[in-house]
Amino acid sequence: MPVLLVTHERYLEHDTGRWHPERPARMGAALRGIEAAGTAEDLVRLAPTPATRDQVARVHDATMVDALERFCREGGGEIDTDTIACPQSFEVALLAAGAGLSAIDALDRGEADAAFCAVRPPGHHATPTRLMGFCLVNNIAVTASALADRGERVMIVDWDAHHGNGTQEVFWEDDRVLFVSMHQYPFWPGTGALDDVGAGRGTGFTINVPFAAGTPGDAYRAAVEEVVVPAAERFGPTWLLLSAGFDAHRADPLTDLGLSAGDYVELTRRVVELVPAGHRIAFLEGGYDLDALARSAGSCVAALSGEAYRPEASTTGRQGREVVAAVRHQHGL
């Protein structure tokens, strides 16, 4: 099946410094992994166009966007101890936010069955009013808002090891978007507890699966089958957006979960079945061991294209099933 590979060489211009985990080398690793997966014949390369200010303002306060542009124009630097911007970062962030929007247009034209947005900086920690966690603009939230505003029912599945607090905050009171996050907990950024379920019209449309350190892939697969699938059946999504962070891999230096690249094969295959072909977009988020990132990104894209590629065996263990049971009880699934 054809897959859009949405990326741009300008993503390398976002310079976070030599020793920062979210570094330009991540982009090269992800693209090498995709090439190694043997999906070249299935890939349709697409250069994105930048998101506009109005498109970004669907999810971010305009004063924050203006402040980021000014900060970068004045030379950039540390936004906080984790989050860095350079003079080019504002333009690069708009280009990253535009990747999903460009993917929507191409998928609407029937150019592929799915899209993988190999972008940086990542986005899922950026809140409506705060830049944090390596993130400047919430790429997946910009895309989800555009789809919801045209009447789509959007399901976001986030399996980055760090909870997608920014995405959760954007859609906390929104019943047009179902947000499901599987992440390490307790862990940075401190959000994503079991009883974080949304508010107002959005009550029940945020589902958090807070796994303890060491959780292996079979618990994630159980969460997909026993939480994600029934939640989707109840919600009826028309589009699936995937925050494809790969830092839950057991080799990642920043986290303590136990997944492998083989687990991402099975997770991707299952979640894309929840919506029709042509309505599936994945976004690169975390993943900081370059070899693990390469294998995992390749596994995800191969699964999107329907190719048989498994560079590592899936993982199993005894941990995590009690969390899945607790989530099912919390949400009546």
Catalytic annotation, residues: 125
Element (H, E) at 218: helix 217-223
* Cβ-based neighbour number of residue 202 at 10 Å: 19
Burial of residue 77 (CB within 10 Å: 0-12, 13-18, 19+) is: exposed
Rg (CA), the chain: 18
Helix axes 89-108, 139-149, angle to 10 degrees: 40
- Element (H or E) spanning 265, and its range? helix 261-272
**Beta-bridge mates of residue 25:** none
* Of 237, 230, 234, residue with least CA distance to 209: 230
CA-nearest of 79, 102, 76, 101 to 89 is 76
- How would you list the strands of the sheet with 177-184, edge to edge? 43-46, 3-6, 114-117, 280-284, 239-244, 154-158, 177-184, 206-211
Q: Are 80 and 132 in contact (CB under 8 A)?
A: yes
Residues with Cβ within 8 Å of residue 126, at least 6 apart in sequence: 60, 132, 133, 135, 136, 137, 138, 141, 166
- The residues facing 210 across adjacent strands are 183
